[in-house]
Amino acid sequence: MGSKKFALYGGVVMLVMGLVSLIPNFEGSQMGLPMLELNESYGLFLGYFPMNILNKLALIAFGIAGIVTSQLKGNALPRSISFSRAVFFVMGSAAILGALPQTSTLFGYWPLFGGEILAHAVFAVLGAYFGFALSYKVHKEIQTKPHLKETFQGTR
């Protein structure tokens, strides 16, 4: 699987999670969760992931971005690599912030603790692999297919 498929499949997973988490039956209880400044749609999604409306909207946005990126004509590969790298940086930062008690609720607005740490970490590792580790393979492809060089670097 390459960066384009990661953008597509990761995007679908994020979009579905974001949309399903908006269904009130999947919202879950707030019992035992820290109070937030923004309690809209707040609860344990699937009984494990603390989420509020910001988490859900971010998942939907990342999902749409991944799907659209993977379907771009001509420059889907470089855009998918950029998407994968953005997933790495954003989700990795969220996992780190969630692991620190001082920032685990992002100042009371965004729950990043509990199961969210694991989910963000998994997406970050996948983003790192498809955004950075496969760069060598893409570089080799560019060397053998001149039309890709123009796609990545643009015309001068």
67 — pLDDT class (breaks 50, 70, 90): very high
pLDDT in tens, 108-146: 999 999 999 999 999 999 999 999 987 766 666 666 766
Q: What size, in residues, is the chain?
A: 156
- Residue whose C-alpha is closest to residue 93's, from 65, 124, 119, 116: 124
Torsion of CA 98, 100, 106, 108, to 10 degrees: 110
Q: What pLDDT score does 156 carry?
A: 41
96-112 mean pLDDT: 94
Question: pLDDT (tens digit, 9 = 90+) per residue, 11-66?
Answer: 999 999 999 999 988 888 888 899 999 999 999 999 899 999 999 999 999 999 99
For residue 155, pLDDT over 50 is answered with no
Domain locations in the chain as residue ranges:
3-153
If you average pLDDT over residues 4-13, what whole number do you get? 95
Residue-wise pLDDT tens digits, 68-87: 999 998 888 889 999 999 99
